[in-house]
């Protein structure tokens, strides 16, 4: 019987204990059991991580043996030996394969329905070996997963983010192939959406190879909504399914580009702008900030590409970013800037001097 939220980790070295710690910090699972040949090490790591629970998520972390894996939904296998100086990957494979031929059957004996996640090196070959062993024991090979180039992808995104001074969360880049010396950095697919946003560029999110996605994804609407959620800082950018092979979305892409360019270069006269501002302020006035009543007197458009608006206020430093977002959204709705980025600036109105 699978127990809700129970996870096993075989191997309590640096990788295994760090995996357990990360699960606790992110609230993944309800129970984690650490299994290791060195039982004292497993117990010590389990205790240290369990003591962090009061500052994280409710969870039970303990050390155990293979029989304690019973009921696990997922078992992470980090067991194995480290690569010695000068040792080839083939030599490492031979030693870790011997470990896995002992570990995998013992895991499946007590947790036959668990999904197995392999993180031991050389990870891709070890994942294939685990699936092979599982198949020999009658367990489904499709229930075996490897960490692959996930770590390499994270490193790639982090380094690109550091180079371009951008949050790595906004970097989209992947490392492909086998984890190790033969992996490939997919430079042509790397992109930084946040950089385009910061530069005020018009953005269209194209979901290419839609002809393949349609065959694999049942709920296409949910798939697109997930993209929107992950790129929520680009809420104005249209999302278009595309296929270079079938030509799907080609005409819509051209029409969207034209519509985006019209908005991107559009100018709003000062009169209509301030009439709209009057309506927006009447619907939701500025709150008090620091005991002071903040007022926006008037505004004007000072640029295009993207449309940039300057508003004069008595205390511009006290205008909260949430009100700036509200003002931006209202201007979008009022003037039809639904496809392009906008910039809103505030400046203190200088007092008039008589004479």
Q: Please list the active-site residues.
A: 179
Count CB-CB contacts under 10 A for residue 230: 12
Q: Do residues 144 and 35 touch, judged by C-beta distance below 8 A?
A: no
**Alpha helices by DSSP H, the chain:** 14-26, 39-50, 89-110, 123-136, 150-164, 193-198, 210-216, 220-230, 250-264, 270-283, 321-335
Q: Do residues 73 and 5 touch, judged by C-beta distance below 8 A?
A: yes
> Rounded distance, CA 308 to CA 258, Å?
20
> Rounded distance, CA 204 to CA 314, Å?
37
Best CA proximity match to 111, nearest among 44, 65, 147: 65
Count CB-CB contacts under 10 A for residue 86: 6
**Which residues on neighbouring strands pair with residue 61, listed in sequence order?**
32
Best CA proximity match to 313, nearest among 289, 348, 350, 276: 348
Q: Do residues 21 and 57 touch, judged by C-beta distance below 8 A?
A: no
**Which residues on neighbouring strands pair with residue 64, listed in sequence order?**
35
Farthest-apart Cα atoms in the chain, separation: 96
SS3 175: strand
Classify burial at 350, counting beta carbons within 10 Å of its beta carbon; exposed 0-12, middle 13-18, buried 19 or more: exposed
> Rounded distance, CA 134 to CA 32, Å?
22
Sign of the C-alpha dihedral, residues 210, 215, 221, 226? negative
**DSSP state, residue 103:** H
> Rounded distance, CA 349 to CA 314, Å?
6
């Amino acid at each position: 019987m699978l127990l809700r939220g129970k996870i096993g980790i075989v191997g309590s070295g640096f990788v295994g204990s760090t995996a357990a710690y990360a699960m606790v910090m992110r609230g993944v699972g309800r129970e984690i059991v650490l299994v290791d040949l060195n039982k004292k090490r497993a117990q010590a790591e389990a205790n240290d991580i369990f003591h962090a629970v009061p500052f994280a998520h409710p969870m039970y972390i303990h050390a155990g043996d293979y029989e304690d894996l019973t009921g696990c939904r997922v078992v992470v296998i980090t067991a194995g030996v480290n690569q010695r100086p000068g040792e080839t990957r083939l030599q490492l494979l031979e030693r870790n394969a011997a470990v896995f031929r002992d570990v995998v059957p013992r895991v499946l004996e007590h947790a036959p329905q668990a999904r197995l996640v392999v993180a031991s090196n050389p990870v891709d070959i070890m994942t294939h070996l685990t699936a092979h062993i599982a198949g020999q024991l009658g367990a489904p090979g499709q229930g075996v997963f490897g960490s692959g180039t996930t770590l390499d992808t994270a490193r790639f995104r982090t380094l690109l983010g550091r180079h371009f001074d951008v949050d790595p969360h906004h970097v989209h880049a992947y490392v492909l192939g086998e984890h190790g010396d033969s992996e490939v950095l997919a430079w042509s697919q790397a992109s930084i959406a946040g950089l385009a946003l910061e530069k005020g560029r018009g953005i269209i999110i194209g979901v290419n190879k839609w002809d393949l996605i349609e065959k694999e994804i049942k709920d296409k609407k949910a798939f697109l909504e997930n993209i929107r959620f992950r790129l929520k800082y680009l809420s104005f950018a249209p999302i278009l399914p595309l296929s270079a092979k079938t030509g799907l979305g080609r005409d819509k892409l051209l029409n969207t580009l034209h519509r985006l360019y019209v908005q991107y270069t559009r100018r709003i006269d000062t009169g209509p702008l301030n009439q709209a501002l009057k309506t927006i302020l009447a619907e939701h006035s500025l709150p008090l900030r620091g005991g002071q009543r903040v007022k926006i007197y008037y505004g004007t458009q000072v640029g295009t590409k993207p449309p940039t608006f300057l508003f004069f206020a008595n205390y511009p430093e006290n205008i909260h970013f949430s009100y700036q977002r509200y003002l931006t959204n209202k201007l979008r709705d009022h003037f039809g800037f639904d496809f392009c980025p906008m910039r809103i600036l505030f400046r203190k109105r200088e007092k008039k001097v008589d004479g």
